[in-house]
Amino acid sequence: MRGYLKRLSGFVIGWIFVLWICLNVGWRFYRWRLQLWFRQSYMVESTHIGMKQTLLFIRHGQTTWNVEHRLPGQLPGVALNEIGRQQAARLADALTVLPISAIISSPLERARDTAEIIAQPRKLEIQYEPELMDLELGHWSGQNYDELSKNDPEWKAFVRDPTAGPEGVETFPQLQERVVAAVERWRKQDSTCAYLVFVAHADVVKLLIAYYTGLEAKRAGLLTIDNASVSLIELDPEHQPRVLAIGWNPQPGWLKPPAPESEKPEVEAQVEGEQKG
């Protein structure tokens, strides 16, 4: 009974912390977006200072495996479906207001496809980083996670506590260690780049956000990161990291001043993505 209460209290505390993070981030995001709308000098200054950096963590667009609830892990050959390509195109349009200077991507097809669509209008060369690849799921790769949740006790235990897993399965702390090291290496290497894009996977983005917010790695699964969503972290040597957005699904013009009703384009409904892959 005591062990159950301890786990329950830990779960509740984790949710409260995540809620606190999201409320703070929501307020920061709206302030930051207003600055983009009404203070164009904000972007110019942050681009030329060379000290402050804004990191954009982007999850790839939808794949057929997302729809089928299959776990891709690091398996090759999982590309975007048509909806995923449309999501990535909307994302590329939404980010046109930002002076993105570098795009670093996981080499897995679904991330690579997304990065190519974002890079195309900017004529930027994509840099591929193997350390941004998805969680290594070992023997679970390719399986349906709904079925695993019903029939596999090991999987259920891993979902409850991703800090420990069976042989051949990467844990959340292991994944966090490699992706944080990769991001820090790239941002220091490109220290004069004010806006860096990292295109990766749901668990990768969750664990990066957890690192920069101080959330425990085991609680990162409480975050929601949909397909073709953006999370923004502002880094300034004189201040603590500031999370500006978590898992925002952009529509055209989301960072631009609102257009009159007569000028607004018709947009297809955003399809919500699954949280794996």
- 169 Cβ contact partners less than 8 Å away, ≥ 6 residues apart: 136, 137, 138, 139, 140, 158
Per-residue pLDDT for 80 more than 90? yes
- 179 Cβ contact partners less than 8 Å away, ≥ 6 residues apart: 131, 132, 200, 204, 207, 208
Q: pTM score, two decimals?
A: 0.80
CA-based torsion, 31, 132, 206, 109: positive or negative: positive
- E strand intervals along the chain: 53-59, 102-105, 126-128, 195-200, 230-235, 242-248
Domain residue spans in the chain? 2-263
The pair of structure tokens assigned to 150 is 């019903």
What distance separates the 2 farthest-apart alpha carbons in the chain? Answer: 62
In the numeric block, the tokens 């390719």 are attached to 142
Q: CA-to-CA distance for 54 and 125, rounded, in angstroms?
A: 19
Q: What is residue 254's predicted lDDT score, i.e. its pLDDT?
A: 59
**What are the tens digits of pLDDT across the range 196-244?**
999 999 999 999 999 999 999 999 999 999 999 999 999 988 888 988 8
**What are the tens digits of pLDDT across the range 155-204?**
999 999 999 999 999 999 999 999 999 999 999 886 657 899 999 999 99
Top-level CATH class of 2-263? alpha beta
Q: Would strands 230-235 and 242-248 be described as parallel, antiparallel, or unpaired?
A: antiparallel
Q: What is residue 189's predicted lDDT score, i.e. its pLDDT?
A: 87
